[in-house]
Chains A and B, each alone.
Chain A
Amino acid sequence: MIRIENVYKSLGEFNLEDVCLDVDDGEYLVILGPTGAGKTILLETLAGIHLPDKGHIYLGERNITRLPPRVRNIGMVYQDYILFPHLTVEKNIRFGLRYRRLSEEKAETRIAELTEMLGIRHLLHRFPGTLSGGEKQRTAIARALITEPEVLLLDEPLSALDHETRNRLKEELRRLHRLTQTTMIHVTHNFDEVFVLGNRLAVMNEGRIVQVGEPGEVFRKPNSRFAADFLGVSNIYQGILNPGKGLSAFHVDGLVILTTSQASGKVQACVRPEDILVSLMPIESDAQNAFKGTIVDVSNTGPVVNIQVNVGSIPFIAAVTRRSFYDMDLRVGGEVYVTFKTVDVHVF
């Protein structure tokens, strides 16, 4: 298990600010964040390339904060592959074997296994300059895994690949993780990778980890304005919360939204568009938030249609399936009901 405790690092442009993060053995953690959030420095600090200005890093029981990279046993794969151009694929993969006490026989078997698993066995004699992006990335992964690292760090491993290769390699990473049970930390700014790969998701911004949790959970319940904006949550409201018994009343410009949150005072809350139900008539349900409003905007975005319904002056964006959009014959100016559950109102 990796434990990062209050790590600070300043590198001029990029910084880490009080980063705390635990990663369990065998876990696949995805770190999501915008460009410049400090994701790469976090990985490089874990690998030992930068020493933290403050804080501690533990790998299992070992305090590795001040250890040089070569004794950490943490592998690193970069977005731009960084294969040694003067060495063949085989010599690239073998690069780290010299520092592991391993018989030649065992080394051979391991290379055979890994290259077989990654489908690059036929490339061993080639030089990196002649490989495609996907082949390069597979080689880089093999080179890192040959030393059997306790943790594998992946810095945007799929970002430089074309769409098809990216999807294929995404599946391969998942399979590789299942087979090797290596702890993996994968940094990206791409949302698709989160759900396919991640057991857990950490959201990073301006050098800080702003939220960690199971991916679905984080997307459903962003805990900050940044997380909500970044993760694409559109209904964000500011208001006063009066905690009550069981349910609390959230006052937004005269509208009262009920929520299960027990916070109080001036807060923000959000409701995901796909959690809002749109109907022509009031619906009998246990959802306790139901308002009548007017459609002011319809935006057709493919599989779902986003509808903006104004309740008084407060806008609600609701995602409606294409099918029900046509069934209900929704048009700008029409009157509809928006309904959502109290548990879907996320206060932060």
Chain B
Amino acid sequence: MRKDAGGAGASVAQGRFTDIAFKTVNLLLCGLVALLLLGALVSIVTRTTPQALWDSIRSDEIQFAIRLSLLTSVSSTLLCLIVGVPAAYALTHYKFRGRGILNIIFELPLALPPVVAGMALLILFGTTGFGKALSDAGLQFVFTKQGIILAQFFVTIPFMYRIMKTTFQSINPRYEHVARTLGCSDLEVFRRVTLPMARNGLIAGSVIAWCRALGEFGAAMMVAGATRMKTETLPVALYLNMTSGDLVLAVSAATMLIVIAFVALLVFEKVAGSARIF
């Protein structure tokens, strides 16, 4: 009897020990990773003096890259909204043949390496009859700013699509049913009920798509090339200056990207936090 009780006591103590060990390992790893992430970022920002950083950020080249990056990423994000929202709506609201396949196609670029996506776009828009026809009509994509937007769009559309799909799926269809019985047409249901209720998804989708577009490098470079002061977005500026050994310029491009990422993350967290209002 006493022996049994002693055995139980030992196993309780042992259990407590493994609990503490488990907790310690988890916390330790968590701290290490955080330190690594933060250290890497801080090392970029502190690579040069603040004065040199500030001067190079104000240089023509970086200013050009900031403007081009903002222009292309905002354009491609808007395109993503215009295409991704209706696509997600169609795939969640209509029943039709080939829905499953369409869903896979929409999400495919998610798994595809961006360089491959860029190459595919380059071939489609550069060498085929389709690309030639567009080019004759005045829409040039190869080695142009439009090419950057196209590449960003291609790489970010699956994010927008996925987020909007889950958002629409999370809305109880009865909201739409009730709106219909109250007199709404499908378009009015979408405008007055579905879209307002999907507000947080729209913001989250836009922020994520925009961040991905801003950092897009591989696909954009395949389609638009990396030409100084022509198709030079922030990631391209980083790459070009890194290879030419101009570290200060490269660091300032990286710093801008880090700053933008932080701002975007803040906005995203704020939205995600307010998502519980509904």
A48 to B177, CA, bound (A): 9
Question: Which A residues touch B14, using CB under 8 A?
Answer: none
Tell whether A100 pairs with B197 under 8 Å between CB atoms, given A78-B178, A129-B277: no
CB closest chain-A residue, reference B178: A82
Interchain CB contact under 8 A, A49 and B183: no
Contact with B along A65-97 (1 / 0, CB 8 A): 000111010111010101011100000000110
Question: Which A residues touch B179, using CB under 8 A?
Answer: 84, 95
A69 to B192, CA, bound (A): 16
Quote the shortest CB–CB distance from B72 to chain A (angstroms): 33
Question: Which B residues touch A17, using CB under 8 A?
Answer: none
Question: Which B residues touch A48, using CB under 8 A?
Answer: 180-181
CB closest chain-B residue, reference A94: B182
- B54 beta carbon closer than 8 Å to chain A: no
Interchain CB contact under 8 A, B175 and A49: no
Question: Which B residues touch A72, using CB under 8 A?
Answer: 181
Interchain CB contact under 8 A, A82 and B184: no
Tell whether A82 pairs with B181 under 8 Å between CB atoms, given A129-B277, A129-B278: no
Question: Which B residues touch A129, using CB under 8 A?
Answer: 277-278
Interface size on A, residues (CB 8 A): 26
Question: Which B residues touch A147, using CB under 8 A?
Answer: 182-183
From residue 298 to 324 of chain A, which have CB atoms closer than 8 A to chain B?
A: none
Question: Which A residues touch B86, using CB under 8 A?
Answer: none
A129 to B180, CA, bound (A): 22
A16 to B25, CA, bound (A): 58
From residue 75 to 121 of chain B, which have CB atoms closer than 8 A to chain A?
A: none
Question: Which A residues touch B177, using CB under 8 A?
Answer: 44, 47, 49, 69, 76, 82
Quote the shortest CB–CB distance from A98 to chain B (angstroms): 7
Question: Which A residues touch B178, using CB under 8 A?
Answer: 76, 78, 82, 143
Question: Which A residues touch B172, using CB under 8 A?
Answer: 80, 82
Quote the shortest CB–CB distance from B122 to chain A (angstroms): 44
CB closest chain-A residue, reference B185: A70
A82 to B182, CA, bound (A): 13
Give chain B's interface secondary structure class.
Answer: helix
Tell whether A99 pairs with B197 under 8 Å between CB atoms, given A69-B177, A82-B178, A129-B277: no
- B74 beta carbon closer than 8 Å to chain A: no
Question: Which B residues touch A85, using CB under 8 A?
Answer: 197, 277-278
Interface size on B, residues (CB 8 A): 19
Interchain CB contact under 8 A, A86 and B183: no
Tell whether A74 pairs with B175 under 8 Å between CB atoms, given A84-B193, A86-B196, A86-B197: no
Contact with A along B172-216 (1 / 0, CB 8 A): 101101111111110000001100110100000000000000000
Quote the shortest CB–CB distance from A82 to chain B (angstroms): 5
Question: Which A residues touch B183, using CB under 8 A?
Answer: 70, 96, 98-100, 147
Question: Which B residues touch A84, using CB under 8 A?
Answer: 175, 179, 193, 196-197
Quote the shortest CB–CB distance from B192 to chain A (angstroms): 8
Interchain CB contact under 8 A, A86 and B181: no
CB closest chain-B residue, reference A40: B174
Interchain CB contact under 8 A, B278 and A86: yes
Interchain CB contact under 8 A, A68 and B278: no
A48 to B183, CA, bound (A): 12
Question: Which B residues touch A75, using CB under 8 A?
Answer: 181-182
Question: Which B residues touch A96, using CB under 8 A?
Answer: 182-183
Question: Which A residues touch B192, using CB under 8 A?
Answer: 95
Question: Which B residues touch A68, using CB under 8 A?
Answer: 180, 185
A293 to B268, CA, bound (A): 78
Q: CB < 8 Å: which of A80, A86, A95 contacts B182?
A: A95
A136 to B181, CA, bound (A): 18
A100 to B107, CA, bound (A): 43
Quote the shortest CB–CB distance from B58 to chain A (angstroms): 44
Question: Which B residues touch A98, using CB under 8 A?
Answer: 183
Contact with A along B146-179 (1 / 0, CB 8 A): 0000000000000000000000000010110111
A49 to B277, CA, bound (A): 28
Quote the shortest CB–CB distance from A70 to chain B (angstroms): 5
A178 to B179, CA, bound (A): 26
Question: Which B residues touch A144, using CB under 8 A?
Answer: 181-182
Tell whether A70 pairs with B174 under 8 Å between CB atoms, given A86-B199, A95-B179: no
A84 to B185, CA, bound (A): 17
A77 to B178, CA, bound (A): 8
A98 to B192, CA, bound (A): 12
Tell whether A143 pairs with B175 under 8 Å between CB atoms, given A86-B278, A129-B278: no
A100 to B177, CA, bound (A): 18
CB closest chain-B residue, reference A47: B181
Interchain CB contact under 8 A, A99 and B182: yes
Contact with B along A19-48 (1 / 0, CB 8 A): 000000000000000000000000010011
Quote the shortest CB–CB distance from A293 to chain B (angstroms): 53
Q: Return 22 A-B CB contacts under 8 Å, by A number.
A: A47-B177, A47-B180, A47-B181, A49-B177, A49-B181, A69-B180, A70-B183, A72-B181, A75-B181, A76-B177, A76-B178, A76-B181, A82-B172, A82-B175, A85-B277, A85-B278, A86-B197, A95-B179, A95-B182, A143-B182, A147-B182, A147-B183
The 8 closest A-B pairs by CB, nearest first: A99-B183, A96-B182, A69-B180, A85-B278, A86-B196, A76-B181, A70-B183, A82-B174
**Sample of 20 further A-B pairs with CB below 8 A, known A82-B178, A84-B193:** A48-B181, A49-B181, A68-B185, A69-B181, A72-B181, A76-B177, A82-B172, A84-B179, A84-B197, A85-B277, A86-B197, A96-B182, A98-B183, A99-B183, A100-B183, A129-B277, A129-B278, A143-B178, A144-B181, A147-B183
